[in-house]
Amino acid sequence: MKNKINLNLDKLAQGGVQELFDMNVKKILENIQDLNTEPKLKRKMTITIDFIPDETRSMITLGSQVKVGLAPTKGVATVVLTGRNNDGELEANELQSGVPGQTYIDMETGELMSDIGEKLSDEQAKPTVIDLQQSKKA
């Protein structure tokens, strides 16, 4: 007995519905592999097929649409130091060293940097030796 309804999803719109499915599966798989997304969040694909009959109800236009729900990219955070300078002007800079007031070495250039990522002058970068035995000598 022959099937009286001959509508196959993979053949609808000359394979267009299957093509939309394949294209969006790729987007979902790329999103799953993106290390900037939460790994365990669900991803979703919705395929909508609209049946639009004509006046005589003998001809139906099928419209298809595929929507995907992807995991959002993880946000990033940073610390900003803010305050007023000696002239009373507002300042704000991203903390680069991890601790306010702490210098660090720029791993790309090898230069000594301030806590907000500014290169220190030779005078500022000069090491200071602290004699911890000083209090015992006095």
pLDDT single digits (tens) 65-74: 999 999 999 9
Share of the chain above pLDDT 90, in %: 53
Q: What is the pLDDT of residue 109?
A: 85
* Residues with Cβ within 8 Å of residue 109, at least 6 apart in sequence: none
Q: Which amino acid is it at 103?
A: T
Q: Across the chain, what does the average pLDDT equal?
A: 88
Where does 12-125 have alpha helices with state H? 16-33, 122-125
Band of pLDDT at residue 1, cut at 50, 70 and 90: confident
> CA angle 90-96-99, nearest 5°?
90
Separation CA 124–CA 113 (nearest Å): 10
Tens-place pLDDT, residues 96-134: 877 777 887 887 888 888 888 888 877 776 767 777 777
Band of pLDDT at residue 135, cut at 50, 70 and 90: low
Q: Has residue 93 got a pLDDT over 90?
A: no
Share of the chain above pLDDT 70, in %: 96
Q: Which one is predicted more confidently, 21 or 93?
A: 21
Q: Which amino acid is it at 112?
A: L
- 3-state secondary structure at position 134: helix
Separation CA 43–CA 70 (nearest Å): 5
Please report the sign of the dihedral spanned by the C-alpha atoms of residue 21, residue 25, residue 26, residue 27: positive
Closest CA to 74 of 37, 106, 40, 47: 37
Tens-place pLDDT, residues 34-55: 999 999 999 999 999 999 999 9
Beta bridge partners of 67: 46
